[in-house]
Structure 1
Amino acid sequence: MSLRQTWWGVTLLSLGGVLVVAIVIFLAVVGRYWWEIKQGRGDILAQKIYSGFTASTSTNNNVSADRVILERTDAPYLGNADAEVVIVEFVDFKCPNCLAEAPIIKNLVQKYGNKLKLIIRNFPVESLHPGATQLATIAECAYEEGLYWPTHDYLYNRQSELPATLSDEEIKNVIAPALNLDAVRLKACLANRNTTVRVNRDYADGLQFGVRGTPTFFVNGEKIEGVIPLEVWDQFFSKL
C-alpha cells in the first residue's frame, strides 16, 4: 500500500469518527429537548417564583417592544384583558403535549381568570405533525366568527381521530357542521391569503423569540417550555 493510500485511509477514518461523534451529540441534544418538552419546564417557573419573579403590569407604558409583539392584541384570549399577568401560549393542535396541557390551562383560567390574560398563538410544527397548519387556519377562521374556543376544544378532543389532511368534503360535511360554521364562509376564509398570513405571522414570531416546540409559554415575556403541572402554576399565582 502506498503512502498516499495510507493517508487517505487515515483521513477517512478520522472523518468517520468525527461524523459518529457529531451524530451522537445531535441525538443527545434532540433527546434531551424532547424530554424537556414532554416533562415540561415547571422547574424554571418554580425557580422564578422562589427567586422573587414578580409580574409587571401588562398595560404599563414600559412594557418592552418584545412583549408588544408577543402579546398580540388581535389574538384569541381568555381571562382579564387588563390583568397584570399575561401568558402567551404557542400551540400546535396536533401536538400531544399541547393536548396534555389544554385541561390544565382551562383549569388555570377558571381559578385565576381575574389575575391573568391567556393569549393563544399558532405554532404548527408541520414537519412533526402534518396537517397542523390546516387546523391552525381553521381555528383562525372560527375566531373571525366568534367561535374560537369551541373550535379550540373540538380540535384537541378529536386530535387522534382527525386525518393528516382534511379534504374539502370533510371540511364541508364534518368540520363546519360540528363547529356551527357556515361551510361557504369557512371555505372562503381558508382560501383567503390574509388567514394564512396570520398563521404564518404567529409562527414567525415564535421563531423570533426562540420557540422550538409546543407548548411554549411566555409569562410576562419570560419563556417557559413544555407541559407545566397545575400545582406549579398554583405556586406561581400564590406568590403574586
Structure 2
Amino acid sequence: MKTQTLPWIIMLAIVGGAIGIVTLAVTGNKGGELSPVAIQLGPDEIWKGKEDARVTLVEYADFQCPACSTYAPLVGKIAEEFKDEVRVVFRHFPLRQIHSNADEASRAAHAAFLQGRFWEMHDRLFQEQRAWSASKDPTGLFDAYARDLGLNEEQFKNDISSDATRAKIEADVQSGFQARVPGTPTFFLQGRMMQNPKNYEDFRLRIQTALGQDS
C-alpha cells in the first residue's frame, strides 16, 4: 500500500517585527531533527502515557489548524502503540492572527482538562473542526461538546473564561516562542525539535529510534 505525505504545515515568519504567513513542505533530514533548541517540561503539563516513560513527545498545536487535525490521529496511534514507553505532552499554540476561534477552542479544551476530560475534548474539537471553525461565535458548539462529554456545564462555562485558563494558554504560547516554535503542529522528541513526520510509519520510526529499537 502506498503511503501519502501529510499536508504542509502553517509556519509563522517574523520579518522586521511583522508577522507573516508562509508554508513549508514537510521534508526531513537524516534522523528528522530540525533544531537543537531544547524544551523543558513543567509540573502542570497536559499529558498521557506513563509519567516515567523512556521517551517524551511534546506537541504544540492549534485546534483550528487543518494540519494539526490531520496529525491528531497519528499522535493518538503513537500514544496507544507506545503507551508504556512514550509520554505524549500537549501544549496550546493558537495562531490567533489567522485563526479567530483557536484561542477559545484551547480554552474549551483546558476547561475540559479541569474536569478530567481533556483528551476527549481534544478529539472532539479536531473531529468537528470544520463546523466550529466556520462559526462566528463557536461558544454554543463548545458548550454542546461539553454536555456530550458529561461535563458540569456551569463549571465549564466558568473555567473557559477564567483568568487561570487564559494564563495557562498564554504560558504554553510563551514557552513555544521561547522554544522557537515556527508554526503548528511542531513536535519535540526528547526535548529536541524535529521535522514533522511524513506519515505514520515515519513517525513510528522516529519513536523507535529514540527508544533504541529496531524497526
- Would you call these one fold, judging by a TM-score over 0.5? yes
When residues 237 and 226 of structure 1 are mapped into structure 2, their CA distance, relative to the original with a 3 A threshold, is closer
Q: Residue 94 of structure 2 contacts residue 103 of structure 2 at CA under 8 Å; is this kept in 1? A: yes
Task: Name the counterpart of 2:188.
Answer: 218
Matched, 1:79 2:68: no
Matched, 1:46 2:31: yes
Q: CA deviation at 1:176?
A: 2.6
Q: CA deviation at 1:167?
A: 5.2
Task: Name the counterpart of 1:161.
Answer: 131
Task: Name the counterpart of 2:23.
Answer: 34
2:174 to 191, 204, 207: 204
Q: Residue 32 of structure 2 contacts residue 196 of structure 2 at CA under 8 Å; is this kept in 1? A: no
1:128 to 98, 115, 122: 98
Question: Letter of the aligned partner of 2:121 in structure 1?
Answer: T
TM-score by length of 2: 0.78
| Structure holding more strand per residue | 2
Please list every run of 5 or more consecutive structure 2 residues that lacks an aligned counterpart in the other structure. Answer: 1-14
Q: Residue 97 of structure 1 contacts residue 226 of structure 1 at CA under 8 Å; is this kept in 2? A: no
Question: Letter of the aligned partner of 2:185 in structure 1?
Answer: P
When residues 229 and 237 of structure 1 are mapped into structure 2, their CA distance, relative to the original with a 3 A threshold, is same
TM-score by length of 1: 0.71
When residues 165 and 181 of structure 1 are mapped into structure 2, their CA distance, relative to the original with a 3 A threshold, is farther
Instruction: Render the CA deviation track for 1:94-151: whole Å, top value 9, x for unaligned.
Output: 1010011011111111111111111000000011211100000010110010010110
Question: Letter of the aligned partner of 1:154 in structure 2?
Answer: R
Question: Letter of the aligned partner of 2:187 in structure 1?
Answer: F
Q: Residue 214 of structure 1 contacts residue 225 of structure 1 at CA under 8 Å; is this kept in 2? A: no
| Structure holding more helix per residue | 1
Question: Letter of the aligned partner of 1:192 in structure 2?
Answer: S
Task: Name the counterpart of 1:113.
Answer: 83
Matched, 1:90 2:60: yes
Distance in 1, Cα, partners of 2:105 & 2:114? 14
Distance in 1, Cα, partners of 2:53 & 2:62? 25
When residues 184 and 101 of structure 1 are mapped into structure 2, their CA distance, relative to the original with a 3 A threshold, is same
CA RMSD of aligned residues (A): 2.5
When residues 125 and 82 of structure 1 are mapped into structure 2, their CA distance, relative to the original with a 3 A threshold, is same
Q: CA deviation at 1:235?
A: 1.8
1:103 to 59, 63, 73: 73
Q: CA deviation at 1:78?
A: 1.5
Distance in 2, Cα, partners of 1:99 & 1:154? 10
Instruction: Calculate percent identity across the aligned residue pairs.
Output: 23
Q: How many residues align?
A: 189
Q: CA deviation at 1:45?
A: 6.4
When residues 72 and 105 of structure 1 are mapped into structure 2, their CA distance, relative to the original with a 3 A threshold, is same
Task: Name the counterpart of 1:12.
Answer: none
| Larger Rg belongs to | 1
Please list every run of 5 or more consecutive structure 1 residues that lacks an aligned counterpart in the other structure. Answer: 1-24, 49-63
Distance in 2, Cα, partners of 1:45 & 1:141? 39
